Amino acid sequence: MPLKTNSPKASDPRPTLEGRKVHRIVFVTGKGGVGKSAVAAATALQLARAGKTVLLVELGSRSFYGPLLGLPVGDDTVRWTSRIGISRWDVESSLREYMSHYLVFKAAADWLLNYTVMKALIAAAPSLAELAILGKLTGPMRHDWYRREVDVVVVDAYSTGQFMALMRSPRGLSRSVTSGQMHRHAASITAVLSEPAICEYRLVTLAEEMPTAEACEMAAALRAETGIAPRLYINRVVDLPAQLPAWPAGDPAAPFIQHMTRVAARQRESLRALQALGDQSDGPVRQLPFIAVTDAQRLLQALADALDTDPGAAR
């Protein structure tokens, strides 16, 4: 088997970051349908405006940004703006890239990965899939040989339950496989995910009962797993006065006023619930405006404007 010999030192993952060119990671998550992908893209814009070079990464079986922005998003990074590239990572390509380093000949990596059994394993074995994605993401922090020439990677991550499963997988694996390469990989990934100088978690919700309840549970779960409190964002907040006027019932504007009164109550309730999380949230609860445009580019720019008003958000 043509394997490259690595000195123990080179393959030994160290949680320290000295001497390594590393980048920050911003995870964006939340319940499905809350606008997580839009907030992730706007986060990329926000960071780019602050002068950073950004890689916006999406996970999952289909590209969200490709059709939305009219870009051929895939394995290779495509330019969105001068400072932002977008790519979609899948398990197989992540693992292939990783293994290619350890195997001298690319042909050998291909052979291994094309092997029916390996394909099936990747498709099915749960830990491998998650480790592959997280391993690729945290590669530059854990290996001298791994370079990624960006300042920040913004991850449009899975929604609530799946995201927590992703976050827990390396710790679970390092506990059950107590020695060897896999153990060291898993342990070093866990260390990176818990490093506040590297990782930031943005948790998006809507001012509705279910998403807010899920966000509260998830903020606590994230804090417990990583030790890092997430930043909380209420998305699609309608700018309404503190007190809506009383309106005569038969008037043409009455249904509108009634609806807005309900919206205002929901928004207050959601804000109150999230604020009650206290130090389980990183800083104050942020509110992002409801943006009444259907054009994707305009929507994302407007969202980035809103993120820009948040002092200290673009570290």
Partner 1 sequence: MRALIESHRVIVCAGSGGVGKTTIAAALGVAAAKMGKRVLVLTIDPARRLATALGIANHANDVRVPGQKYRGQLWAGTIDPARIFADYIERHARDRKTVERLLANSLYQQLSTTLSGSQEFTSLAKLHDAATRGDYDLVILDTPPAVHAVDFLRAPERLNAVFDTAIVSLFMGRTTGLGLVATAWKQGVKLYLAALTRLTGSAFVATLSDFFSAIDAIAPDIRQTNLLARKLLLDPSAAFVLISSFDLAKIQEGEAFQDELVRAGYHLRKVIVNRAWPRWTQGDAASQAAVRKSLLARGERKLADLQEALADYYLARRSLHTGFAELLILPEMDDQIVGLGAVEELAARLVAEA
Please choose, out of 79-87, 145-153, 251-259, 281-289, the segment that lies near partner 1 by the rule CB under 8 A: 251-259
Contacting partner 1 (CB under 8 A), which of 127, 194, 297, 301?
A: 127
Residues 25, 28, 34, 215: which binds partner 1 (CB under 8 A)? 34
CA–CA distance, 187 with 222 (Å, rounded to integer): 17
Does residue 47 touch partner 1 according to CB under 8 A? no
**What separation in angstroms does the CA of 65 have from each of 42, 72, 112?**
12, 9, 31
Q: Is residue 10 involved in binding partner 1 (CB under 8 A)?
A: no
Residue of 21, 79, 106, 259 that binds partner 1 (CB under 8 A): 259
Footprint of partner 1 on 98-117 (CB under 8 A)? 99, 102-103, 108, 112, 115-117
| DSSP 8-state secondary structure symbol assigned to residue 293 | -
Q: Which listed residue (78, 187, 260, 264) binds partner 1 by CB under 8 A?
A: 260
Q: Does 241 bind partner 1 (CB under 8 A)?
A: yes
* 33 backbone dihedrals φ, ψ, rounded to 5°: 85, 5
**238 touching partner 1, by CB under 8 A:** yes
Is residue 251 close enough to count as binding partner 1 by CB under 8 A? yes
For residue 70, give the DSSP letter. Answer: T
Q: Applying CB under 8 A, does 68 fall inside the site for partner 1?
A: yes
Among residues 36, 86, 90, 42, the alpha carbon closest in space to that of 65 is found at: 86
Residue 252 interacts with partner 1 (CB under 8 A): yes or no? yes
Is 224 near partner 1 (CB under 8 A)?
no
**CA–CA gap between residue 28 and residue 152 (Å, rounded):** 13
Closer residue to partner 1 in complex, CB, 21/121? 121
The β-bridge partners of 3 are 103
Report CA-CA distances (Å) from 111 to 6, 104, 105, 164, 210.
21, 12, 10, 33, 47
| Least spacing, CB of residue 75 vs partner 1, in Å | 18
The b/e string for 116-136 (b: 16+ C-beta within 10 A; e otherwise) is: eebeeebeeeeebbbbbbbbb
